[in-house]
A and B are shown apart, each in its own frame.
Chain A
Amino acid sequence: MIRLGKKLGAWGAVLPLLGYCAIALGLPVWALLWEGLQRPDPVTQKTTFTLWNLTTSWHGIYLTGLLTSLRLSLLTSVISAVIGLFAAYAIAQSRGRYFKQAILTASGVLANFGGIPLAFCFIATIGTGGVFLSWIQNLWPSFQIDTFNGLAVVYPYFLVPLMVLTTLPALDGLRTQWKEASTNLGGSSWQYWRHIGGPLLLPAALGGFVLCFGSAFAAYATARALTSGTVPLVTMQISSILSGNVIAGAGENNLGMALALNTIIICALMMAVYLPLRKRSAKWLES
C-alpha cells in the first residue's frame, strides 16, 4: 500500500511534464495533420479531405527544396560529425581542467548560437564587405555566402559543438583499463579501435550524427539571414508560402502545412533511428 502510494506520488510529479509536452507538441502537430490533408475547392470554396497537398509537396519546386535541404544537411552533418568526433576525442584526452570546462561550456553556448547572431558574425567575416571575403575568394574564387556553399561553410559552426556535446560523455566513459587490457594482451592500437573502442563508440557517434542532421535540416533563421531565400530550402519555402510571398493559388496555406508535415515526418524518421542507437550506447557506457 505504501509502495503504491509512493509510485502514485512519483507519477504525480512526472505527469505535468508529460501532459505539457503532449499538449504543446501534440496540438500543433495535430493541427498540421488536420489542415495539411484538407483543401478548399477553387470553385465552390468547400473544404474537402484530400492528399493533393502532400502529393504537390513532393513535386516540382517543393521537391527541389526538400532535396536541397536534405543535401545540405547530409553534407554539413557528415563533415561536422567527423570533425566533432575527433575534436571530442582530443578534448576527452586532455588533462587541463580549465581547458575542458571552457570547451564544454563554449560548446553549450555555440550549439545554441545558430540563428541570427551567427549569421551576423559570418556576414561580418565573409559576407559582402566582410573582413575576410577577399582572402577566402583568393582560395575559392566562386565563393559567395548567400549560396549553398556559403551555408555549408557556416552550418558546422553550430553543428560541431552539438556533436562534441553529444559524444563527449561516451568518450569520457571509455576506460583506460580497457585500452591497457587490450595492450597487455598484445593488441595494437588499430585492433583496440577496431574491436573495442570503435564498436563502443559507434552508437554514440551515429546518434550524434543523426542529431546534427536533424538540427541542420530544421535550421531556418541562419539560412534566412544569410541568403534571404536564394537557396531553396524547405523551411524557407514554408515560411514564404505562409507569409503570402508566393502565389500558390487557393488553399496555399494548406500546402504550407503539408510541407511542414514533410519535415515532421523526416524528424520522426530521425528519432526512430536515433533512439535505438542511444539505448545501445547507454547500456555499456553508463553502467
Chain B
Amino acid sequence: MTTISEIEAPAAVGAAAPKRRFDLRKVRWWRVAVLGVLGVYFVVPLAASFWFTVYDSHTRTFSLSPYGQIFSAPGFGTSVRMTVEVALLTIVILYALLVPAMIAVHLRLPKLRPVLESLAMVPLVLSPVALVVGIQTVLGWGLNQNPGTPLFQLAVDLQNQNFPLILPIVYVLIALPFAYRSLEAGLRAVDLRTLVEASRGLGASWPVTIWRAVLPNLRTGLLSGAILTLALVFGEYTISSILQFLPFSVWIVQDGQGATSGQLAPAVSLLSLLLSWAVLFLVSFLGGRRAVGRTDRSSS
C-alpha cells in the first residue's frame, strides 16, 4: 500500500522535501501533524482510486488498460468534442466580459470593486440545482410561445442537442468566482496604471493598449483561470444532467460505466484531476515568478 501512495503522491513528496532543510529543533510539530493528517486525507482517496483502476481483484493482475479504454469507448469522441467546445466558448465569453470590466474597475472605478467582488461570490453559494430549475422554467416559457416567434426559436436554439448554447451561458456564471480570483491576483501583481499610461502616452489606442501591454502581463492569471474553467466544465454534472444534455461528465456516468466494470469512471476522474493540477502548477511557475516573489515579501 505504501508503495502506491508514494507513486501517487507528488504533493506529499513536495511537502516533505522543503522541511528537510530545517533544523529539527525548529520544526513546529503541530504544523507537521496538521499537514501530515491532511496529506493522508487528500492523497489516500486518489491513491485508492488509482489502485482500484489498475488492480483486478478476480484475476489478481495489474493493468493500465482502463486508461487506454477511455479513448476507444463509444461516445467518447462526441462527448469530449462537445465539452471542449462548450468550455472554449465559456472561456471566451467569460474573458470578454470580465477583462474589460476588471481593468476599468482597477483604473477608473475603484468604488465598484466591492460590487464586482460580491457578484463573483454569489455563484459559490448559489445552489446549481436551484439555478438550473429556474433556467428550465425560463426555457419552458420560451417553448410555450407560438412556434415561429423569435422567443420560441431562441429557446429551441439554446437547447440544441449538438451544441447547447445554454450550457456556456450558465457555466460563465459558475466559473466567475474562480476566473475573478485568478485575474484579480494577476492584476495586483502588475502596476496596471503605469503600464496603461505609458502605452497611452506613446499614442496607442485603448484596444492596442489592452491587447499588447496589459494582456501579456496578465497571461498567468488568464491561463490559470482558463484551466480552472476547463476543469470545471469537464467535471460539471448537475446542470447538464438535469437539462438532459450529454457532455463528458454525464456520458461517463451513463454510458461509460457499463463497459469496463466501473473502472473507467474513476480512471477519468483521476486523470482529469492530476492533469489540471499539473498544468496549473506549471503555469504558475512559467509566468508567475513575480507573483510568488511578491507573496514571499509580504509574509516575511
B163: interface (CB < 8 Å): no
Q: In the complex, are the beta carbons of B242 and A214 less than 8 A apart? A: no
Task: Check if A2 is an interface residue, CB within 8 A of chain B.
Answer: no
A residues less than 8 Å from B115 (CB atoms): 18
Q: Known contacts being A83-B38, A116-B252, is A260 close to B109, with CB within 8 Å?
A: no
Q: Is there an interface contact between B169 and A96, defined as CB atoms closer than 8 Å?
A: no
Does B173 contact A157, Cβ atoms closer than 8 Å?
no
User: Assuming A20-B97, A221-B238, is B298 touching A10 (CB within 8 A)?
Assistant: no
Q: How many residues of A contact B (CB 8 A)?
A: 98
Contact assessment for B117 and A239 in the assembled complex, using a CB-CB cutoff below 8 Å: no
B242 contacts which of A11, A121, A239 (Cβ < 8 Å)?
A239
Closest residue to B289 on the A side, CB-wise? Answer: A97
A102 near B242 with CB under 8 A, answer no
A69 to chain B: closest CB distance in Å? 10
The interface residues of chain A lying within 8 Å CB-to-CB of B138 are: 27-28, 31
> B34 touches which one: A21, A87, A103, A109 (CB < 8 A)?
A87
Q: What are the residues of chain B within 8 A of A28 when measuring CB–CB?
A: 131, 133-135, 137-138
* A residues near B77, Cβ cutoff 8 Å: none
Shortest C-beta distance, A104 to chain B (Å), equals 7
CB distance B280 to A109 under 8 Å? yes
Report Cα–Cα, A100/B242, bound state, in Å.
Answer: 38
Q: In the bound complex, how far is the Cα of B282 from the Cα of A119, in angstroms?
A: 27
B118 interfacial by beta-carbon distance below 8 Å: yes
Does B63 interact with chain A (Cβ within 8 Å)?
A: no
Residues A132 and B44 in contact, CB atoms below 8 Å apart: yes
Contact B130–A109 (Cβ < 8 Å): no
CB closest chain-A residue, reference B4: A131
Q: Which residue of B lies closest to A161 (CB)?
A: B42
Measured CB to CB, the residues of B under 8 A from A are 10-11, 14-15, 17-19, 28, 30-31, 34-35, 38, 41-42, 44-46, 48-49, 51-53, 96-98, 100-101, 103-105, 107-109, 112, 114-119, 121-122, 124-131, 133-138, 141, 169-170, 172-173, 176, 178, 181, 206, 224, 228, 231-232, 235-238, 241-242, 249, 252-253, 265-266, 268-270, 272-273, 276-277, 280-281, 284-285, 288, 292, 295-296, 298-300
Q: Across chains A and B, which 8 residue pairs bring their CB atoms closest together, nearest first?
A: A28-B134, A214-B125, A96-B18, A117-B269, A218-B127, A10-B108, A124-B52, A13-B104
- A: which residues have CB within 8 A of B? 6-7, 9-11, 13-14, 16-18, 20-21, 24-25, 27-32, 34-35, 83, 86-87, 90-106, 108-110, 112-113, 115-118, 120-126, 130-132, 156-157, 160, 162, 165, 172-173, 175-176, 210-211, 214-215, 217-218, 220-221, 224-225, 235, 238-239, 242-243, 256-257, 260-261, 263-264, 267, 270-271, 274-275, 278-279
